[in-house]
Amino acid sequence: MKEQRTKRTTRHFHRIALALSAVFLAAAGASAAELPREEAVLTHAPNVPPPITRRTPAKVVINLEVKEHIAELAPGVEYTFWTFGGQVPGPFMRIREGDEVEFHLHNNPDNKLPHNIDLHAVTGPGGGAAASFTAPGRSSQFSFKALKPGLYVYHCATAPVGMHIANGMYGLILVEPEFGLPPVDHEYYLMQGEFYTEGEYGTPGLQTFSMNKALDERPDYVVFNGSVGSLTGDNAIHAKTGETVRLYVGNGGPNLISSFHVIGEIFDTVHIEGGDRLNANVQTTLVPAGGSAIVEFFCDAPGTLTLVDHSIFRAFNKGALGMLKVEGEPNLTVFSGKQHDSVYLPEGREPPSDNGHALVRTDREPTLTEQKRAGELVYKQTCFACHQASGQGIPSVFPPLANSDYLNADPERAVAYVIFGRQGPITVNGVDYNQIMTPQNLNNEQIADVVTYVLNTWGNKKGRISATRVQEIRDGGPEPFGAGIHAE
Amino acid sequence: MTVVPSHSARASTRSKVKRIVIALLFASLCGGVEAAFIQVDAGVYRPIYSNEPEQPVAAFLLEEAQVTNEEFLQFVTENPRWQRSKASKLFVDERYLANWTDDLTPGVNAPLNHPVTQVSWFAARAYAQWKGARLPTLAEWEWAASASEDRADSRGDTNFLARILAWYGRPASTGTQPVRSVYKNFWGAWDMHGQIWEWVEDFNSALVTGESRNDSALEGGLFCGSGAAGAADVEDYAAFMRFAFRSSLKARYSTSALGFRCARDLPADLKEPTQ
């Protein structure tokens, strides 16, 4: 009798539980069904999807493919990248607070390794890592709700995690706050990451991942958007004076913290660490590995702003350098430009004249192809800041090297200018210039290579300069070519 | 000169003779397509997590090269239920032999002398049974694969590890090469690294202990820093990648860089006398 009552009670409980769960399921089903369904717009860096205009949550479907492939890390340097969406960083994803995301991760059949994704915007175990763990040639699906607004990093979290990140598997997902972000004129996406290669910086050819350097946190490359030069020259980003720019800045790491700075600007606002808190009037903001920041600034004056990791050797020696070109009328009150220019030589100091001994190459002579290839690297590291990516120079400021009548008239004069520097007026392709080029600290073979490269590029007259000839010009001093710089 | 561990010092002339005998024996058993087995002496398999005990590995026989498309063609010819269009979807996924032209033509994307890939664990196992063999266990495979050209145990040899890692870093789209083309290791087994991944009998055992409450913790460990904290050798990234790869698989999956080779127990009369 007693046993019977117990059974009945249990059955009763079961019935209530069933009914309750039915109600919950119905509610959950109903709310999911009510949400409009849309496919997320994904963009590759430096582009950002348009702001979200809807003011209610949606069911957002994200499809992301993992692809392992070889691409350029720097001019002449290749690397096997592991990527989300075929590029480093992975695509920018933009959703809204309260959205429910249905995430599909596809592992390309040609890949060799399993991958997954840990989105820092996910509240749940592993940020989705275990749920999205996917063998080559398979797809995984999981869902999450975007509970908190902010700019979040996503990355692969498959063992060995460090290596998956070091090979480029990271990107940003923006969860817009309920009422959106204030409108701006331009939004750009920029993500820092470092690469650890067997060869030193600039060593040409296909480079493999160096585990030892990664363990030592000693990268050869620190870059924005996956490669040296991804944001310079023709790849620079643009704005006009009077416009406001918002940069979504992420740091994939895997190891280094970025000291993000824009040379020639002050950030009006910074969303510290990609969160809600705003700081104002900031020069440099820290972006942690696996973290982000949103920076905004108004462009008062025209010119090229240089984006750097102000841990500065990374910028000028390892690649963490980008450009934002601001066009518009100069505002001379905000910034005058150079008003006076002369060389300052302390008393008793002579301009450098002869530091080139023992710089002649002793092994075999390089081929023209080798010289051009090596010269291109020298050019991109030394000359390109003034003479520009395609040798076009800057009108009236830095003379062009492309299709240059002045260069072609006497290439050895150019060698002398690189060795000794040059000061005073010259006319190139009918335009007058009056600037100073400082002596360049390059050895004979670097000078021979870079002048040979320039002579064989951009419509110049071809020809070659040997390291031996550079030494002879060095020995002859600046006078025969009217080279050198002097005190006023 | 490198130091050869004591267990291989026993690789005397006697055992070399034995190996030749074994090779001849199996060459005669498997008419037509050649499948030579080499002997791997007893050793120790060290799991990637240091809290797991080292496992002794008994001497066994291992196929000297991966199973080729040609060999697998013979298998599916004699066993039609393993042909691409006929194989049960319980045992293979949509990518099973998808690189073959049709059921009985490997074709241009699967040269006859290249290792067969895109086969499921079930199919690999059926092939091994058909050959009167089995798949190697994870411990056997790992022990045999830890041999470099001149050392039975090259774990801790950073040059060897770097070579393995370099291969793991190349995309599979770079394709396979004919079998026996990368390197022959101390035991005489070809291309244990550098060509493809290989199925093992207990491929998912790294994450499955039989105690289900522990399994989730183990799996979690593979995805984050805590995985490295318990590792026996934090620098053996290559081992982590193999375990991550295996744990992403299910027995019916097939992928473009995954094949297999067979193993056998050492015949009783050829076993080394115990020390």
Helix (H) or strand (E) holding A427: strand A422-428
Bridge partner list, A171: A154
pLDDT at A308 over 80: yes
Q: Does A227 contact chain B (CB < 8 Å)?
A: no
Which ranges in A306-425 belong to alpha helices (H)? 313-317, 368-378, 384-387, 405-409, 411-420
Taking CA atoms, A163 is separated from A358, B197, B238, in Å, by 42, 19, 10
The band of A160, judged by pLDDT with boundaries at 50, 70 and 90, is confident
- Are the Cβ atoms of A129 and B249 closer than 8 angstroms? no
**Interface predicted TM-score (ipTM):** 0.71
pLDDT of residue B206: 58
Average pLDDT over residues A50-60: 95
Q: How far apart are CA A166 and CA B236, in angstroms?
A: 16
Q: Does A157 contact chain B (CB < 8 Å)?
A: yes
Comparing C-alpha atoms, which of A83, A135, A252 is closest to residue B245? A135
Going B116 to B121 to B123 to B127, the CA torsion angle's sign is: positive
- Are the Cβ atoms of B169 and A116 closer than 8 angstroms? no
Q: How far apart are CA B76 and CA B226, in angstroms?
A: 44
Q: How far apart are CA A380 and CA B3, in angstroms?
A: 48
Q: HSE (CB half, 13 Å, CA atoms) of A211?
A: 19
B239–chain A nearest CA distance, Å: 9
- A chain contacts of residue B161, beta-carbon cutoff 8 Å: 211
Going A463 to A468 to A470 to A476, the CA torsion angle's sign is: negative
The label of the residue with tokens 């993992």 reads A66
Which ranges in A80-160 belong to alpha helices (H)? none
pLDDT of residue B209: 38
pLDDT at A26 over 70: no
- Are the Cβ atoms of B247 and A126 closer than 8 angstroms? no
Size of interface A-B (CB pairs under 8 A): 102
- B chain contacts of residue A71, beta-carbon cutoff 8 Å: none
- Are the Cβ atoms of B253 and A137 closer than 8 angstroms? yes
Asked if A189 and A46 count as a contact pair (C-beta separation under 8 A), the reply is yes
B168–chain A nearest CA distance, Å: 7
Counting Cβ atoms within 10 Å, is residue A199 exposed (0-12), middle (13-18) or buried (19+)?
middle
The band of B178, judged by pLDDT with boundaries at 50, 70 and 90, is very high
Going B158 to B147 to B201 to B274, the CA torsion angle's sign is: negative
Of A2-6, A161-165, A409-413, the poorest mean pLDDT is in A2-6
Average pLDDT over residues B178-185: 93
pLDDT of residue A36: 95
Helices B212-223, B237-247: axis angle to 10 degrees equals 130
B129–chain A nearest CA distance, Å: 26
The band of A350, judged by pLDDT with boundaries at 50, 70 and 90, is low
Counting Cβ atoms within 10 Å, is residue B3 exposed (0-12), middle (13-18) or buried (19+)?
exposed
Cα dihedral value B95, B101, B105, B110, nearest 10: -70
Average pLDDT over residues A424-447: 87
pTM, entire model: 0.70
Q: How far apart are CA B41 and CA A266, in angstroms?
A: 68
- B chain contacts of residue A133, beta-carbon cutoff 8 Å: 223, 247-248
Q: Which of B162, B225, B256 sits opposite A136 (nearest CB)?
A: B256
Q: Searching chain B, which residue's CA lies closest to the CA of residue A216?
A: B235
B90–chain A nearest CA distance, Å: 16
Cis ω for the linkage preceding A89 (within 30 of 0): yes
- A chain contacts of residue B95, beta-carbon cutoff 8 Å: 109, 137
Long-range contacts at A425-429 (CB < 8 A, ≥ 24 apart): A426/A399, A428/A393, A428/A399, A428/A400, A428/A404, A429/A400, A429/A403, A429/A404, A429/A405
- A chain contacts of residue B243, beta-carbon cutoff 8 Å: 159
Q: How far apart are CA B175 and CA B164, in angstroms?
A: 16
E strands, A59-185, in order: 59-74, 77-84, 93-96, 100-107, 118-119, 139-145, 150-155, 170-176
B212–chain A nearest CA distance, Å: 16
The band of A67, judged by pLDDT with boundaries at 50, 70 and 90, is very high
Q: How far apart are CA A222 and CA A253, in angstroms?
A: 9
The band of B203, judged by pLDDT with boundaries at 50, 70 and 90, is confident
The label of the residue with tokens 């092939």 reads B127
- The amino acid that residue A219 corresponds to is P
- Are the Cβ atoms of B223 and A114 closer than 8 angstroms? no
The label of the residue with tokens 């120790």 reads B44
The band of A348, judged by pLDDT with boundaries at 50, 70 and 90, is low
pLDDT at A30 over 50: no
Spell out the residues 6+ positions from residue A364 whose beta carbon is closer than 8 angstroms to its own: none
Spell out the residues 6+ positions from residue A177 whose beta carbon is closer than 8 angstroms to its own: A97, A149, A276
Q: How far apart are CA A249 and CA A188, in angstroms?
A: 8
pLDDT at A68 over 50: yes
Instruction: Tell me the average pLDDT of chain A.
Output: 88
pLDDT at B110 over 80: yes
Q: Does B149 contact chain A (CB < 8 Å)?
A: no
Average pLDDT over residues B138-160: 90
State how beta strands A221-224 and A303-309 pair: unpaired
Of A86-100, A193-207, B100-114, B235-249, the poorest mean pLDDT is in B235-249
- Are the Cβ atoms of A112 and B168 closer than 8 angstroms? yes
E strands, B42-158, in order: 43-45, 55-57, 60-63
Q: Does B220 contact chain A (CB < 8 Å)?
A: yes
Q: Does B251 contact chain A (CB < 8 Å)?
A: no
Which is more confident, A354 or A296? A296
Interface test with chain A among B92, B215, B222, by most A beta carbons within 10 Å: B222
- The amino acid that residue A301 corresponds to is A
The band of B15, judged by pLDDT with boundaries at 50, 70 and 90, is low
